Amino acid sequence: MNFLSQAIVQAPAPDWTAVLALPIIDNQDSLVSLGLVKAPLRSYPAYFHQGIPNALSDCYVRRSVLFRLYKAARLLPIGVELVVLDGWRPLSVQQYLFDSLFAAINAHSVHHSESELLNRTRHIIAPPSTDSLAPSSHLTGGAVDVTLCDAEGLFLDMGTEFDEISPLSYSGAFEVIDKPSARQAEVIENRRLLHSVMRQAGFTNLPSAWWHFDYGNQSWAWCANKPEAKFGLIELLSLRQRWLNNVRDEGEFR
């Protein structure tokens, strides 16, 4: 058995109070587009294709995150490719996803308190936050949602859909099956493969979501036992905003 087939040890849920208390010293790494990436790395902006309001038609990550995604992709065996489903997202998308999931859980959890509903929701979607001291992970450009596909672009079987609300979405969920079926055994190997290459590239995984990985943000710092995060809140500037900044900078040099 090589490192690509190591069993996934189910990690405990993050201590979110401790996570969001970690200091951030942003290294000013820029956001970059994944629109022109090449195999074995692919980009498929899932929320845009699902018609989520204000979802971007491209995926963006911090530049150093892209380098690490390529590192992970190049560790994959021939015929398997890494697919980025989402990276940096606007606050409005984060709000929509959180509100939609909270409402769905609330509709079938009439006996749960609001704090319990919040906790269940954040297993999949973090509360929207533009707090510079505690931003939502996807608003930092350091969080990515990924999966695997074959050389023809068909997604590999990961056991659940991306963003599925299910105990089976936990990264190590299939590892506890004593006698897996042929399909379950395939899922186990696919998850191990994804988990292994992403960890080798320096990412950490959200235990409740096999698809979610972090680098540089507070979640990564907490999971990797780092004293501080490298990435804080970042904004994808529109052309108008960039022009306004250009004019301002031009005036400063006169």
For 162-204, the pLDDT digits (tens) are 999 999 999 999 999 999 999 999 999 999 999 999 999 999 9
Q: Strand locations in the chain, DSSP E? A: 31-33, 41-43, 60-62, 80-86, 143-150, 204-205, 212-214
pLDDT digits (tens, 9 = 90+) for 116-146: 888 888 889 999 999 999 999 999 999 999 9
The pLDDT score that the predictor gives to residue 254 is 59
Closest among 75, 78, 109 to 197, alpha carbons compared: 75
| Tens digit of each residue's pLDDT (9 = 90 or more) over 61-81 | 999 999 999 999 999 999 999
On the question of pLDDT at 2 being above 70, the answer is no
Q: What is the pLDDT of residue 110?
A: 67
Where residue 1 falls among pLDDT bands split at 50, 70, 90?
very low
pLDDT tens digit sequence for 8-63:
998 999 999 999 999 999 999 999 999 999 889 999 999 999 999 999 999 999 99
Amino acid at 37: V
β-pairing verdict for 41-43 and 80-86: parallel
SS3 80: strand
d(CA 197, CA 81): 11
Annotated binding site: 138, 145, 212
Q: How confident is the model at residue 84 (pLDDT cuts 50, 70, 90)?
A: very high
Specify the higher pLDDT residue, 1 or 240: 240
Write out the binding residues for Zn(2+).
138, 145, 212
User: Once rounded to an integer, what is the mean pLDDT over residues 109-113?
Assistant: 72
- Class of domain 3-252 as given by CATH: alpha beta
Nearest to 143 by CA among 82, 207, 203, 199: 203
pTM of the model: 0.93
Work out the percent of the chain whose per-residue pLDDT is above 70. Answer: 96
Residue 63 per-residue DSSP state: H
pLDDT given for residue 240 in this prediction:
83
Average pLDDT, whole number, for the chain?
93
Distance of CA 202 to the CA centre of its chain: 13
Q: CA–CA distance from 158 to each of 20, 34, 96, 128 (Å)?
A: 30, 23, 25, 27
